[in-house]
Amino acid sequence: MRAVIQRVIQASVSVDGKAVGKIDHGFMVLFAVHNDDTEEKLEKMANKIINLRIFEDEEGKMNKSLLGAKGALLIVSQFTLYGNSKKGNRPSFIDSASPERAKKMYDSFINILKNKNIHVETGIFGVRMQIELINDGPTTLIIDI
């Protein structure tokens, strides 16, 4: 399981020119499921993301979590995070979970986060989306679980 987390001032995702998810202040999360991932990893990934201390405290140090900063999440599925271009120039995506399995895991991941009383917005799984964001910092992390 892989997530690219960007601390944002604001972020939105659109489909066909219409906004389907938008947040102010929080994390824009690109989320991918590996074909070997299990449901048990979802809770661990959710806890890692909401407890990452990458928001600044009163002294300007990265010391506050998403919970402490009262931030929101914009979660967008992105199977291409497991693209492998070691051989040639056209990436292979064989390490990504099948669309059916990835959708089930994506939906479960979102429900886990919502059950933690986090404001969660999403894209639409499996469709072409456009993302706009203002990265704060910039601060970007890659998390593998």
Active-site positions?
78-80
3-state secondary structure of 100: helix
What gap in Å lies between CA 24 and CA 40, rounded to an integer?
Answer: 30
- What's phi and psi for 60, nearest 5 deg? 80, 10
Residue 8's CB is within 10 A of a number of other CB atoms, namely 26
Task: Kindly state the DSSP code that residue 138 receives in the 8-state scheme.
Answer: E
- Bridge partner residues of 7 (DSSP): 27
